[in-house]
Structure formats: C-alpha cells, structure tokens
A and B are shown apart, each in its own frame.
Chain A
Amino acid sequence: MTNKLEFDKPINELEMKIKELQDFAEEKDINLDDEIKVLKERLYSFKKETYENLLPWQKAQVARYVERPSTRDYINLIFKDFIELHGDRCYGDDKAIIGGIALLDKRPVTVVGHQKGKDIKENVSYNFGMPHPEGYRKALRLMLQAEKFKRPVICFVDTPGAFPGIGAEERGQGEAIARNLMEMSRLKTPVLVIISGEGGSGEALALAVGDKIFMLEHAIYSVISPEGCASILWKDSSRAMEAASLLKLTAEDLLGFGVIDEILQEPLGGAHREPQEMAAKIKEVLIKCLAELEDTPVNELVKGRYEKFRKMGSYSIFEEGQLEILPRDK
C-alpha cells in the first residue's frame, strides 16, 4: 500500500511484524505468545506516543488521509435502512454531498454529509468532496424535508472547500452557502453536526450550523487551508506546517474558542485504524444527544442555536473617554 502517513510508518512496520509473527506461529504451530505480547506492548506505546503528540499539521494529514472513514462509511456503520435521495430539483445532483433518510437506532433521521472518494476514480466522481451550489441546495432541500416530517438532521463535515470554477460562480456559490447558513439557523428540528474529517472554511460551515457541534479528535476545522494561508503569508505554500500551527484548527483549540461543543476521542492511532469503534462511539453520542434534546420545545431549540452562534467572536470594548478625536495635527 502506498501513500501511508509518514509518521505512521514505524507503527505500520510494527503492525506488519506482529502479523507475520502471528502467521508464522500458526503455520508452524509453535507458541510465540510472549514475543508477540512484547511487540504488541511496544506497538501500543508507539501509537500512544505518536497520536497523543500530533502537531496541527500532522492532524491535517490524518484528517485528509484517504483511508479515513468517509461520510458513506459512517452512514453504513451507524445507521440502518439508509435511502439516498438525490438532486436539488433545480440543476443537478452533486455527488460531493450525499444525503438521505435512515434509522438511528429506531428513530428516522435525515443524514447529510460531504463525500470524498477513496481512489482517483471515486474522487473524480465526487469531485474530491468539493461541492457546487447544487450540492448545498440539495442539502438544504433535505433539511427542510426533515423539518417538515420532524426528523432530526445529522450532518457530517469533510471537505477541503468548495470547487472554484466558472459554473459554480454562475450558479451562485456564495448565495447557496449563505442560504444554508440562514435556513439552518432557524430549522425547527434538532441539528447535530459531526466534524469528522477536514472542515474546510465556509464550505464546511454550510453544513455545520447546529445545536451541537461534535468534532473528532484528529479532525481539523479552519478558515483557510494551511497551504492557502502559507501562500498568502509567505508566498510559499510549502510552509503549510507553520501555518497549520498559527491557524488554531485543532479540536482542542476550537473547544477553547467555543466554536465546537465536544471532542470525540478517536481509537488509538486514529479513526482509520478502527472505523467500527469510531462509528460505535459516534452512534452512542448521537443517540444520547437526541434523547437529551427530545424534551426541548422547538422554539427554545432555535433560540438556543441562535444564542450559541451569537456569542462567537472575540473583541474588547473601550470607554468613550479613551477616544481620541481625529483629525489632529500631526
């Protein structure tokens, strides 16, 4: 397998060695349990050491990793009876955003999320998870449908950003995102958001105005990509690593700023190692959260959502007396 994460290599090698040893022991019918146990302990501390100390830039790589579970993986692992619904009833069906109705435990919900591919062919079809206006409009259509039938909405966020193209501009990319922000803020049904992979700017936010914002431990959520930031700051996109640290895009940073509500710990070594375990955790959290919101009257829910986003921002207030009136002679 190619394109492994650089810092994952020692872990991968050890994993392979353990597997070889296990196969060998089985084949020759000898007992290597002690040796395997030692290696497994070393593997555990390797993973722990690496993944507990990931730099922001390394988290960006984990968040974008092709083997990281996608929205469709989570849909398959968390929900039952998913029926995918297509199209914005206006222009087309954008495969960079998927959505439909499914059962969470026994409760019908609407699920919407950005979809990235696992290989070139899939990625061409999903446009690398970069939506066009019709993608946002499909998502909004499904959310309004959920509101009508009083189904909660669950959003998975995983996009590098919107597609910068002529068609996207002609069809109103900005308007499509703005409309989602506006409508989601007043949707009369619970909206739960999972930032599961790459939360790329406004294109991520367009599916992320919710009552509860959960973020996976190694996901990122940023106003601009580290590469984009580096090329603006230093005219050098290869300095993305430094930019990633500046932007404060990790779950821990964003919890501190009040941008997200809760961090969901990933299995040791990242969600890509144990997708089932990750999915089970998300499922548990979603069920619990919906049960908590169940008794909240819908008006209060919407009011609470407004207040939540209303509070975001950081500024200070100075006193009138500190104002120096311009123009002054200089």
Chain B
Amino acid sequence: MWGAGVLFRDFFRKTKYAILDTPGRLQSREQDVSIRCEECGELILLKDIEKNFKVCSKCGYHLKMTAQERLNVLLDRGSFEEYDKNLETVDVLKFPGYHEKLEASREVTGLREAVVTGKGEIEGNTVIICIMDPRFISASMGSVVGEKITRALEKAEEKKTPIIIFSASGGARMQEGMLSLMQMAKTSAAAARLNEDGVLYISVLTNPTTGGVTASFASLGDVIIAEPGALIGFAGPRVIEQTIRQKLPSGFQRAEFLLQHGLIDLIVERKDLRKVLSRMLVLHKKS
C-alpha cells in the first residue's frame, strides 16, 4: 500500500526541484570542453576552471558561481541539509512578464528561488548558510528570498549557530512592489537580533552585490568578506554615470575600492575562502 502511494504521488508530482547535496567535487560535463573568460576573453578548459574554483587561470577573474557549485566547494562532503525549500513565490501584483521570468529561472537553475539556505559543516564546524544564485532574476530579493534569509537568521539565533550569507544580487525585486522593499527591513531586523545575542554573522559579498541587498543584511555582518574584483555598491554604475554625466574612475565599486574606503574587512580569493571561513569560525568558538 505504502509503495503504491508513493508511486501514485510521484505520478502526479508537479513542482520541479533539484536535490542539493555536496558530493565534494564538481561533476565534469564532457560535452562542454572550454569556456570564455568574461574579463580577458581567454578560452579556458572546463576541467581547469573547475579545478580552479571557476577562476580564470590567465587573469584571475572570479566567474559567477551557481548556488550548487558554491555548496560543493564550500561545505564538507555530504553535510548539507537544506531549509525551507517549499516556499513558493506569488505574483502578487500580476506584474507583466513576472510569471514567465520565474518559470524561465526555475528551468535554468533547477531552483525554486534565488537563494538556497540550510545547515552544513566547514572543516567540521557547523554553520547555517545562505547562498544567493545570480542566475535567478539577478538574485533580486522578493518575499521568498527575504523570508528564507530571515528564517535562516532566526534559526542561527535560536540555535546559537554562526551564519554565513553569500550575497549576489541586483537589489529589490521590482515585480513584487513594496513587499519586496520591506524584505530589507525584515532581514535587517533579524540581523539586529542576532547581533544582540552575540551570534557570529559573516557576510560574503560576491559579484555583483548591489541595491537593496547591499542596503540591508549584506552590509550588516560582523565580518564582511568580498571576492576579488566583485562589483559591490548601492546605486548601479550605469545610473551613477547617467546622473553625474562623467566617466567613473576605473575600479570604482570593485571589492578593492571598497577595501580602500574602509567598507569591508578583507578580500579573499576563492581558493582560500573555505580555509579562511573555517579559521574565522574556530576563532569565534566559545571556550
């Protein structure tokens, strides 16, 4: 009976979802052999780029990573346990094109929304982790993204477990109107509680992090780390250029610019990220 039930249910299942796990190493796809670096234009062999954490071997450019790829390289093998994967986005405003955009993003990413949250281990240290995936409508923050991040922050507070959030976002999700803007207040308020309870929050800024995410939880970490060359800012560079009608200085709004202006703690290359995060977690262990 039970088996039949499962089959019956499987027959009618509708919602697509990729199982996220941490197999330890990226699977190689034999059909694609090489990829072109967005920065220097060099053709790089896929097997090299995978060995190299998706960093261009010629110029050091950090290519965008999917949420799945980040989990794979960051967490201990098999340690990931996903939270809240059953939250579904609602097109509250019946916004033109939004439904199609959501469907297309789901298809491309295998994800239901722009952030993956859960629990895992980094070199044996338990952490709560949120990873935004820039392929999903520019990882803009709508109600579901805000809710998942808030729940993860609340879980960190409740369990007194450190949290790491990897941001990559174009900002608030216009298609959800004011409810998307309010996610900034919601996530920041949750970060405030964590702050009062003395729980570690590490914010990792990846390319690109802008708008409402920069202006909320991403800027509120106890420690703020950025990947080399990541674009990080509030207003987008094009908007600024159009407003002030002058060319922006080179390197403007890049991670190195933010470090120079005292806005972030440190820049860490991707290959060292796991090690640095692990050390940071150990340094915050209560003795």
Smallest CB gap from A247: residue in B: B177
* A322, B13: Cα distance in complex, Å: 5
Q: Are B261 and A182 in contact (CB under 8 A)?
A: no
Chain B interface size band reads 35 or more
A183 adjacent to chain B (CB < 8 Å): yes
- B201-236 interface code vs A (CB 8 A; 1 in, 0 out): 000000000011011111110000000000001111
Q: Are B195 and A182 in contact (CB under 8 A)?
A: yes
Complex interface: chain A residues within 8 A of B177 (CB): 222-223, 247-249, 257
User: How many A residues have CB within 8 A of the partner chain?
Assistant: 62
Q: Are A327 and B13 in contact (CB under 8 A)?
A: no
A320 adjacent to chain B (CB < 8 Å): yes
Q: Are A312 and B88 in contact (CB under 8 A)?
A: no
Q: Are B174 and A182 in contact (CB under 8 A)?
A: no
* A209, B95: Cα distance in complex, Å: 26
Smallest CB gap from A183: residue in B: B192
Smallest CB gap from A322: residue in B: B15
A305 CB, min distance to chain B CBs, angstroms: 8
Supposing A165-B243, A310-B150 touch, asked if A223 and B96 sit within 8 A by C-beta, the answer is no
A297 adjacent to chain B (CB < 8 Å): no
Task: Identify A246's interface contact among B90, B96, B214, CB under 8 A.
Answer: B96
Interface-lining segment among A109-117, A150-158, A168-176, A268-276: A168-176
A185 adjacent to chain B (CB < 8 Å): yes
Q: Are A313 and B182 in contact (CB under 8 A)?
A: yes
Task: Identify B90's interface contact among A164, A170, A314, A326, CB under 8 A.
Answer: A314
Smallest CB gap from B6: residue in A: A321
Q: Are A223 and B193 in contact (CB under 8 A)?
A: no
Complex interface: chain A residues within 8 A of B150 (CB): 310
Task: Identify B93's interface contact among A172, A246, A324, CB under 8 A.
Answer: A246
B4 adjacent to chain A (CB < 8 Å): no
Smallest CB gap from B17: residue in A: A323
Complex interface: chain B residues within 8 A of A298 (CB): none
Q: Are B180 and A223 in contact (CB under 8 A)?
A: yes
Interface residues of B in 236-260 (CB under 8 A from A): 236, 239-240, 243-244, 248-249, 252-253
Q: Are B215 and A324 in contact (CB under 8 A)?
A: no
Q: Are A324 and B244 in contact (CB under 8 A)?
A: no
Task: Identify A306's interface contact among B172, B189, B253, CB under 8 A.
Answer: B189
B244 CB, min distance to chain A CBs, angstroms: 6
A211 CB, min distance to chain B CBs, angstroms: 13
B188 adjacent to chain A (CB < 8 Å): yes
A114 CB, min distance to chain B CBs, angstroms: 16
Smallest CB gap from B148: residue in A: A315
Q: Are B185 and A174 in contact (CB under 8 A)?
A: no
Interface residues of A in 267-306 (CB under 8 A from B): 305-306
A103 CB, min distance to chain B CBs, angstroms: 29
B199 adjacent to chain A (CB < 8 Å): no
B283 adjacent to chain A (CB < 8 Å): no
- A167-197 interface code vs B (CB 8 A; 1 in, 0 out): 0111111110111011101100000000000
Q: Are A233 and B13 in contact (CB under 8 A)?
A: no
Supposing A162-B235, A313-B186, A314-B179 touch, asked if A174 and B219 sit within 8 A by C-beta, the answer is yes
* A314, B89: Cα distance in complex, Å: 8
Q: Are A327 and B110 in contact (CB under 8 A)?
A: yes
Smallest CB gap from A169: residue in B: B233
Complex interface: chain B residues within 8 A of A312 (CB): 179, 182-183, 185-186
A50 adjacent to chain B (CB < 8 Å): no
Minimum-distance CB pairs A-B, first 4: A174-B214, A185-B189, A164-B235, A313-B143
Known: A182-B192, A222-B181, A259-B182. 7 other contacts (CB 8 A): A165-B243, A166-B244, A209-B188, A229-B174, A257-B92, A306-B193, A315-B87
* Interface residue ranges, A against B (CB under 8 Å): 162-166, 168-175, 177-179, 181-183, 185-186, 201-202, 205-206, 208-209, 221-224, 229, 232-233, 246-249, 254, 257, 259, 305-306, 309-310, 312-328
Q: List 23 A-B contacts (CB under 8 A).
A: A165-B244, A166-B248, A169-B233, A172-B263, A177-B215, A177-B234, A178-B217, A181-B188, A186-B189, A201-B181, A223-B172, A223-B178, A233-B96, A246-B93, A246-B96, A247-B174, A254-B178, A312-B185, A313-B179, A317-B87, A321-B13, A324-B17, A326-B18
